[in-house]
Amino acid sequence: MTKRKNLLLPILILFLGCAKISDTKFLKLAHGLEVSHPVHKGMEFMAERLAEKSGGKLQIEIYPAQQLGTERQALELLQIGSLAMSKTSGAVMESFAPKIKALSLPYVFKGREHAYRVQDSKVGKDLLLQSEQFWLRGLGYFDAGQRSFYTKDRPINSPKDLEGLKIRVQESVMAMNLVRSLGGAPTPISWGELYTALQQGVVDGAENNPPSFYSSRHYEVCKYYSLNEHTAVPDILVIGTVAWNRLSTQEQTWLQEAADEAITFQRKLWVEAEQEALDAVEAAGVTIIRPDKSTFMAKTKGLLEEYKDDKEMFELIQKIQAID
């Protein structure tokens, strides 16, 4: 009997995205990051605050490290209501909210604080709701840092060094266009398969933020990390509209407040984690390179200018850049 229960558990998890036991509702949240990652810690903080705000009536159960599938699979489960919440990269959300690709544009932000101001503005909040037509609702943005290139055999000091290299990218048109503009060959691979792909030479490198580079242990394979910081694509906390609509107005308020507080908490945690990660990978033998960013900016400038013929998108870019 025990063995049968164990076999049924994963099935029950998948089909109870928003389960109610007695007077308590449980929201199931799945994501692909390790528990040491600052985004996961932000979610844990959110779960604690939600339990406190609701007096235990509304709680979040977190399933990290792709326990319930990849980011794409988690989003599909959200859409049908089999899962309540997930974290996904803003790049992945482009398929469901096309305008959100503005946040993935190279050097569209003036820096970390500017990115925060954009995300907290009406512009940022409106983008979170664009995907509702696809049964996905954004609750807020977690800081996912600035993405930079890391490689196995060749240091990246300028765009020229990327020529001919196969670089892993997310499933994002913008990410692929960015790597192409710098001379590399973009290769979409799921995050969970990337370590092996780097080991076996399927790709020559990848691009991501310092905590992800460290927590994934990709530094064991890639010994060059070039901090060109080409994009600052945020992670987005997403809830399926099926799960959202099952909540009362009060429950929705509790959840949004808990998410907002978690975002503030996670941003502070991120800055600390970023420096810790850089120190750790350097101690492990990784060469940290700080190249002249202007050469990368010059090569990718055309990606922003391409939108001049798209009135709505170009206006959105201008609004982002105009935020003080």
**Token pair of 222 as six digits:** 């890639």
CA distance linking residue 229 with residue 29, whole number of Å: 29
Tell me, what's the pLDDT at 20? 67
- Residues 23-43: what's their mean pLDDT? 93
- Element containing residue 12 per DSSP (H, E): helix 2-14
**72 and 170 inside one domain:** no
Chain mean pLDDT for the chain: 92
Tell me, what's the pLDDT at 174? 85
User: How buried is residue 210: exposed, middle or buried, by Cβ count under 10 Å (0-12/13-18/19+)?
Assistant: buried
Confidence label for 13 from pLDDT (cuts 50, 70 and 90)? very low
Tell me, what's the pLDDT at 21? 63
Task: Give yes or no for residue 4 having a pLDDT over 60.
Answer: no
**135 and 191 inside one domain:** no
Q: What is the CATH number of the domain that holds 69?
A: 3.40.190.170
- How many structural domains comprise the chain? 2
Question: For residue 165, what are the domain limits?
Answer: 147-232+276-322
**9 and 134 inside one domain:** yes
**80 and 159 inside one domain:** no
For 62-82, write each residue's pLDDT tens digit: 999 999 998 889 999 999 999
User: How buried is residue 84: exposed, middle or buried, by Cβ count under 10 Å (0-12/13-18/19+)?
Assistant: buried
**118 and 254 inside one domain:** yes
> What predicted TM-score, i.e. pTM, was given to this entire model?
0.84
The identity of residue 169, as a single letter, is V
**118 and 185 inside one domain:** no
**73 and 217 inside one domain:** no
**255 and 217 inside one domain:** no
**248 and 101 inside one domain:** yes
User: How buried is residue 101: exposed, middle or buried, by Cβ count under 10 Å (0-12/13-18/19+)?
Assistant: buried
For 193-250, write each residue's pLDDT tens digit: 999 999 999 999 999 999 989 989 999 999 999 999 999 999 999 999 999 999 999 9
Q: CA 176: distance to chain centroid?
A: 16
Tell me, what's the pLDDT at 7? 38
**44 and 102 inside one domain:** yes
Report the chain's terminal Cα–Cα distance, integer Å.
62
Helix (H, G, I), strand (E, B) or coil at 103: helix
**178 and 257 inside one domain:** no
**206 and 189 inside one domain:** yes
